[in-house]
A and B are shown apart, each in its own frame.
Chain A
Amino acid sequence: MNKELLGVVLIYGLTILLAILLGRSIARWLRGEKSIWNLMAPLERLVYRICGINPEEEMTWKQHLKALLTINLVWFVYSFVLLISQGSLFLNPDGNPSQTPDLAFNTAISFLVNCNLQHYSGESGLTYLTQIFVIAFLQFVTAATGIAALFVLFRALRDKVTDKLGNFWVFFTQSITRILLPLSLVVAVLLLFNGTPSSWKGKDSIVTLQGDSVSVSRGPAAGMIAIKQLGTNGGGYFGVNSSHPLENPNYFTNAVETVSILLIPIALVFAFGYYLKRPKLSRVIFSVMTLGFLLILSTSIWSELNGNPELEKLGLQQPTGSMEGKEVRFGPAASVLWGIATTATSNGSVNSMHDSHTPLSGAMQILDMMINAFYGGVGVGFLNFFIFLIIAVFISGLMVGRTPEFLGRKIEAREMKIAALIALLHPFIILVGTALSSYILVYYPEANWAVQPAAWLNNPGAHGFSEMLYEYSSAAANNGSGFEGLGDNNIFWNVSTGFVLILGRYLPIIGPLAIAGLLAQKKYIPETAGTLRSDSYTFGIMTFAVIVIIAALAFFPALTLGPLAEYFSIR
């Protein structure tokens, strides 16, 4: 076997192993059993005491949502104010300016929703203060928000009738003290000793061996890169994210970061099963997600390893595959694994330039974000998958002529309406956004914005359309990566993607939590021989079919206009 493919297999295998261990350990603490995490209890009690929180107080799903949305609002105001005033604040050794209001709006929203759409470049668009106290801060707390929301769902699906679903502040705090902080520290140390800086000294100037004078941007990067990966935020310290040699210095750090991207999303799938004492249900869900992930991954690897057909026509050999926008130290195979992992999990960090991937590989990345439930972002990925589960239960129920039930509770019209709305929202905001930008590009090319629509696209033809489709898919999935050729730092993109980001984050949290809250209050019906078992592989295939049908029907036409058209034109 090609040794680069072997590398991919090893990294992926290691991830799954670690995720199973982590998932088991999370379930143990959620069930209140003794675990190593109890060491953190004194720190957590201190946090509750300072904040005036009673950790014993249980909340209904509505109270959970109120707490979640209130603290999110506080973070938005705080971040926005800091971003528009960063130029005149401290910790700004490179003298970078404040952000414009529309850019600050976009940046604050983007990181608030655990996305990392970055319409600026880290070296010049932020200061050390905002890198740490806005960006890295939000990378921690928004990841914890997603995990906390998922824990509410876990609670709701237990086999007892209740409207008390735990305490939001406790879930939130524990997500940070027990998962995100300890793991980040481990990853940060691994990065530090492989060459990632944690410097406060500002830019350095050097004269190169050949005699050119250049500057070198540095900064407190290591700590941020750890949490950006683990929290599936993805926002890089440097402009080119983890293809930057200081963010990702060698093959080993690349493996560590790839594992970090996938670790928590997969671990939460296993935690679900262990927590409910239905490990088989977790295995079925994991298998469905993995089947989708591997289909997408293998298509992408095949496409990239074959290289760019247009370069072949120039008479160029591409023994390692397509190299434009990739780093030699990772090679195409590991770059593709990263590209698919980061789009599947709504992470959004990159180690190669997705804009320069071959058409089919680009299509797979976009498709990943359109589906947004093969593992998915921390917490929220599983919530998205839950919506597909509900729809699959409903359709299967209709097919066999029974009242649809999931884990002993009836799925009725109200839950179904919510699920259908959430499932349709995602294609709606992506396709409407792309249509709107295409319309403006064609009819108002001279509009007087910071970047004129005529200059938005870095590539002509079908690929240019893909740049816009990617941007909205990325915003709706709260992913944050981009076909970065797009000229997106202007009022149109900053504001329109800002709204797509908000819709794409909060409704997919509110919807599943509402369904879960409603289900938790329903009578629990013990399973009988006649029950449709949700932990069977037959049901798994059904779920997979539902996902394929929803994604294919909604998105296939758009994919045809972009990456598929490009694929057939250069084949």
Chain B
Amino acid sequence: MKKYLLPSVKMTAVMLVLCCGIYFGIVTVIGKMSPGGGDGETIKVNGKVVGYEKLGQQFTKDRYFWGRPSAVNYNASGSGGSNKGPSNPDYLALVQERIDSFLVHNPAITKEQIPAELVTASGSGLDPHISPAAALIQVDRVARIRKLDKNKVEDLVNNHIETNPIGPDLVHVLKLNIALDALK
């Protein structure tokens, strides 16, 4: 063993320089050239930062489109899923509660219309998206509260659908809500 100790220590030092120092140095420099300068892209409204492009945020007020339930309430200092198993009775009661509450706030729709992601927590707790169906069933509520034309709100949602030929179609909740605030 002794014969290999000195080369081991030296090799460790060399690899620290190569894999940590030089590699991360290069990545950081290239990061400066990427959108957001490597610090994360932000979204601004009237020059004020209201969120990070990639991170979801909590919407509880009726006048906004809602995102998914989150195990960390969308506080991005941490992250987390519920880690509830599919047969857990407490979990099933919680989902039932979310369904009931959603129906109270959205009287125009029925239980069968709610897509599952609106009453289940995401893996990260920071999911910024919902499916187009999940946005469309909230149109009635949002239009009513804001006293807007329903068709106009529906068009807005349709304009915010990001299609993907090999994956799920998405609606970015924060961007949709910012556009909604701008709607007259």
**A249 on interface, CB distance cutoff 8 Å:** yes
Query: Are B35 and A566 in contact (CB-based, < 8 A)?
Result: no
Cα distance A311–B143 when bound, in Å?
29
Closest residue of A by beta carbon distance from B8: A71
Write out the residue numbers on chain B whose beta carbons fall within 8 Å of the beta carbon of A133: 16, 20
Query: Are B39 and A199 in contact (CB-based, < 8 A)?
Result: yes
Instruction: Tell which of B31, B86, B168, B181 touches A356, judged by Cβ atoms closer than 8 Å.
Output: B86
Query: Are A195 and B82 in contact (CB-based, < 8 A)?
Result: no
Closest residue of B by beta carbon distance from A51: B10
Cα distance A357–B99 when bound, in Å?
20
Interface mask (B88-129 → A, CB under 8 Å = 1, otherwise 0): 110110011001000000000001111111011111111111
**A344 on interface, CB distance cutoff 8 Å:** no
**A277 on interface, CB distance cutoff 8 Å:** no
Write out the residue numbers on chain B whose beta carbons fall within 8 Å of the beta carbon of A172: 11
Write out the residue numbers on chain A whose beta carbons fall within 8 Å of the beta carbon of B86: 308-311, 322, 324, 356-359, 463, 566, 570
**B167 on interface, CB distance cutoff 8 Å:** yes
Closest residue of B by beta carbon distance from A314: B96
**B76 on interface, CB distance cutoff 8 Å:** yes
Query: Are A239 and B26 in contact (CB-based, < 8 A)?
Result: no
Write out the residue numbers on chain A whose beta carbons fall within 8 Å of the beta carbon of B119: 316
**B85 on interface, CB distance cutoff 8 Å:** yes
Query: Are B30 and A325 in contact (CB-based, < 8 A)?
Result: no
**A315 on interface, CB distance cutoff 8 Å:** yes
**A327 on interface, CB distance cutoff 8 Å:** yes
Query: Are B167 and A334 in contact (CB-based, < 8 A)?
Result: yes
**B158 on interface, CB distance cutoff 8 Å:** no
Write out the residue numbers on chain B whose beta carbons fall within 8 Å of the beta carbon of A137: 15-16, 19-20
Query: Are A353 and B34 in contact (CB-based, < 8 A)?
Result: no
State how many angstroms separate the Cβ of A559 from the closest Cβ of chain B.
15
Taking residues whose C-beta sits less than 8 angstroms from the other chain, chain B's interface range is: 35 or more
Cβ < 8 Å to B, chain A residues 213-234 = 214-218, 220, 222-223, 227
Write out the residue numbers on chain B whose beta carbons fall within 8 Å of the beta carbon of A320: 115-117, 131, 168
From A2-10, A21-29, A286-294, A548-556, the one touching the partner chain is A2-10
Cβ < 8 Å to A, chain B residues 40-55 = 40-42, 45, 49-55
Closest residue of B by beta carbon distance from A220: B24
Query: Are B19 and A140 in contact (CB-based, < 8 A)?
Result: yes
Query: Are B12 and A458 in contact (CB-based, < 8 A)?
Result: no
Write out the residue numbers on chain A whose beta carbons fall within 8 Å of the beta carbon of B131: 320, 328
Interface mask (A171-197 → B, CB under 8 Å = 1, otherwise 0): 011001100010011001100110101
Query: Are A325 and B121 in contact (CB-based, < 8 A)?
Result: yes
Instruction: Tell which of A50, A245, A460 touches B55, judged by Cβ atoms closer than 8 Å.
Output: A245
Taking residues whose C-beta sits less than 8 angstroms from the other chain, chain A's interface range is: 35 or more
Cα distance A213–B165 when bound, in Å?
36
From A200-208, A386-394, A411-419, A437-445, the one touching the partner chain is A200-208
Instruction: Tell which of A10, A209, A328, A485 touches B85, judged by Cβ atoms closer than 8 Å.
Output: A485
Query: Are B10 and A50 in contact (CB-based, < 8 A)?
Result: yes
**A212 on interface, CB distance cutoff 8 Å:** yes
**B145 on interface, CB distance cutoff 8 Å:** no
Query: Are B126 and A245 in contact (CB-based, < 8 A)?
Result: yes
Instruction: Tell which of A245, A328, A356 touches B82, judged by Cβ atoms closer than 8 Å.
Output: A356
Cα distance A357–B120 when bound, in Å?
12
A206 and B81 in contact, given A192-B38, A222-B31 (Cβ under 8 angstroms): no
Cα distance A323–B123 when bound, in Å?
9
State how many angstroms separate the Cβ of A383 from the closest Cβ of chain B.
21
**B141 on interface, CB distance cutoff 8 Å:** no
Cβ < 8 Å to A, chain B residues 13-35 = 14-16, 18-20, 23-24, 26-28, 30-31, 34-35
Closest residue of B by beta carbon distance from A569: B87
Interface mask (B135-176 → A, CB under 8 Å = 1, otherwise 0): 000000000000000000000000000001111101000100
Closest residue of B by beta carbon distance from A570: B87
Query: Are A351 and B116 in contact (CB-based, < 8 A)?
Result: no
Query: Are B85 and A356 in contact (CB-based, < 8 A)?
Result: yes
Write out the residue numbers on chain B whose beta carbons fall within 8 Å of the beta carbon of A159: none
Query: Are B83 and A483 in contact (CB-based, < 8 A)?
Result: yes
Instruction: Tell which of A74, A329, A355 touches B83, judged by Cβ atoms closer than 8 Å.
Output: A355
Query: Are A317 and B113 in contact (CB-based, < 8 A)?
Result: yes
Query: Are B167 and A7 in contact (CB-based, < 8 A)?
Result: yes
Write out the residue numbers on chain A whose beta carbons fall within 8 Å of the beta carbon of B56: 245
In addition to A136-B24, A243-B122, 12 A-B residue pairs with Cβ atoms within 8 Å of each other are A47-B14, A52-B6, A132-B24, A172-B11, A198-B28, A207-B50, A209-B177, A222-B31, A222-B38, A316-B116, A319-B133, A353-B82
Interface, chain B (partner A; CB < 8 A)? 1, 3-12, 14-16, 18-20, 23-24, 26-28, 30-31, 34-36, 38-42, 45, 49-61, 64, 68, 74-89, 91-92, 95-96, 99, 111-117, 119-131, 133, 164-168, 170, 174, 177-178, 181
Q: Please name 16 pairs of A and B residues whose Cβ atoms are closer than 8 Å in the assembled complex, sorted by A.
A: A4-B166, A51-B14, A74-B9, A137-B15, A141-B19, A193-B35, A203-B77, A215-B76, A222-B38, A311-B116, A316-B99, A325-B83, A327-B127, A328-B129, A356-B84, A485-B84
